[in-house]
Amino acid sequence: MDTITHSAASVWPALRYADAPAAIRFLTDAFGFTQVLVVPGEGDDVVAHAELRWPRGGRIMLGSTAYDEGVHAHMQVAAGSVYLVTDEPDALFERAVAAGAEVVQGLLDEPHGRGFTVRDPEGNLWSFGTYRGASHSEGGQQGSVIRRAMPHIASGRFAESRDFYVGFLGFSQAMDMGWIVTFVSPTNPTAQLSIVADDSSALQPSVTVEVGDVDALHAEALRRGLPVVYPLSDEPWGVRRFFVADPNGVVVNVMSHR
């Protein structure tokens, strides 16, 4: 399942359920939401307000139909339709079906990505897919949607670095491949840094930039005559990348997940 942690949400879909506690259990079990907050209302199994976090960023809020205060009291059950981004639609589809989600549209490859749609027990539609929305990159090249930028620190002191960045600054460890350890902010998934084994015999980038379409940017780099110092390659750990030197001589790892 996706492991990227949440960022501050600016858009909050709001839903109403006849059985809100059961809905919370379903959404966490079937889709992988994390329960953040539940405010009980008066009466058994009444939820005045609940917040659930999506692993890739963003949140939803929900409440019981029995809670009749506020503007959301006028909402109907089964009136919602929510789309969420995932890098692993196949695994998520299996998880949702195993938890009892009703399949509305099975896994499907479309021009904009791969995804599926299911219905929760009270009738709301949930769509999941790899499509991240239309590109809006002012001044950038086609495919240059920037998903994150991450500095690399060359060092062999992994244990001390882990204690500093996790124990002191509050990062979470996102990846450990032995030769590279990546730390990520628990509140902003685009805030990351990596400690990389210091190997002077190997070409090492100083910065990683994850983009929407690495092939398009590689083609643009060649068109511009930029110094590509490591060819476009599919790596065994699931990324497609190339290295290019910027005007300052800094080697940049430009990559996308496959």
pLDDT in tens, 101-127: 999 999 998 877 899 999 999 999 999
Query: Three-state secondary structure along the chain?
Result: CCCCCCCCCCCCCEEEECCHHHHHHHHHHHHCCEEEEEEECCCCCCEEEEEEECCCCCEEEEEECCCCCCHHHHCCCCCCEEEEECCCHHHHHHHHHHCCCEEEEEEEEECCEEEEEEECCCCCEEEEECCCCCCCCCCCCCCCCEEEEEEEEECCCHHHHHHHHHHHCCCEEEEECCCEEEEECCCCCCEEEEEECCCCCCCCCCEEEEECCHHHHHHHHHHHCCCEEEEEEECCCCEEEEEEECCCCCEEEEEEEC
Euclidean distance between CA atoms 207 and 157, whole angstroms: 19
Domains of the chain and CATH, by start:
14-129 (3.10.180.10), 146-257 (3.10.180.10)
Q: In whole numbers, what is the pLDDT of the chain averaged over residues?
A: 87
Euclidean distance between CA atoms 14 and 72, whole angstroms: 8
Q: Count of alpha carbons within 13 Å of 16, Cβ hemisphere only?
A: 17
**Rounded to the nearest 5°, which phi and psi values hold at 186?**
-75, -10
Checking if the pLDDT of 5 tops 50, the result is no
Pairing of strands 228-234, 207-211: unpaired
Strand partners, 117: 105, 127
| Position 20, amino acid | A
Q: Which of 132, 101, 159, 151 is nearest to 257 (CA)?
A: 132
| Position 63, amino acid | G
Instruction: Output Rg (C-alpha) for the chain, integer angstroms.
Output: 22
Q: Which of 254, 211, 196, 197 is nearest to 229 (CA)?
A: 254
Model confidence at 44, pLDDT cuts 50, 70, 90, reads: confident
Question: Is residue 217 within 8 Å of residue 232, measured between CB atoms?
Answer: no
Q: What is the mean pLDDT of residues 195-210?
A: 86
Question: Is residue 40 within 8 Å of residue 87, measured between CB atoms?
Answer: no
Q: What is the mean pLDDT of residues 82-89?
A: 91
pLDDT of amino acid 7: 44
Model confidence at 73, pLDDT cuts 50, 70, 90, reads: low
